[in-house]
Amino acid sequence: MHEQDASSTTPSGPQPKKPLDIVVKLALGVLIGSFALIWGGMYLSRPDRSIPPFSIGSQEETAVAIHVPSWTSDQEIETLIERFRKVGRESRNFGSLKVRPTTPDDPTNRYRRLTLYIFSLDAWADPMMLHKYLTGEDRDVRDGFRKALRGLYQITESDEEGRIGPLLEGPESPATKVYAHQLFKGPLNEPLDQAVEPVPAP
């Protein structure tokens, strides 16, 4: 009888991990690189560094849906809304904020009206979602669109409005103001210090 070699049957310790296949490494590199490029592009292409990074997801006539990173705070979104408000009151040239003319047929004011929808989930800023919301053809999309909102800015020939959080049905309550409240609303000829002041979060 030949005795078996102990080293051939007994594990000598932890087995070395099999290195990742080169294809897997390449796929992971492409995935990570894509996210880095998207974030970097949003960060570097923003008009200035005092507002959070954002990208235009879609635009249909006067309606524009934009995307901000998921970690963007409500305070940063408020800063972004206030920047749009400042541009709307001073020059009404939203081209500096990457928005195409919303009323291009008007030679005197190519941004006569604008409604800006802000999302942190980029799927809601998709052109198809914006179109479905505007046409009202799908109630589920309409409800989801309104609930997914992180912020809203609207300007017309005479009025403006800014909001944080989703568009909820019915009047605001103390509970809903924690995550959804009006920042300002009023006529454009009203001085800023007389407009509705932002509602502080509890």
**What are the tokens at 51?**
């507002």
Any idea where the domains of the chain sit in the sequence?
19-49, 52-194
**What are the tokens at 151?**
């912020």
Contact between 125 and 115 under an 8 Å Cβ cutoff? The reply is no
Q: What DSSP state is assigned to residue 197?
A: P
pLDDT of 37: 75
Q: Return d(Cα 68, Cα 52) in angstroms, integer.
A: 7
pTM assigned to the model: 0.70
**What are the tokens at 14?**
């932890």
> What are 184's strand-pairing partners?
162
Chain segment 63-83, per-residue pLDDT in tens: 999 999 999 999 999 999 999
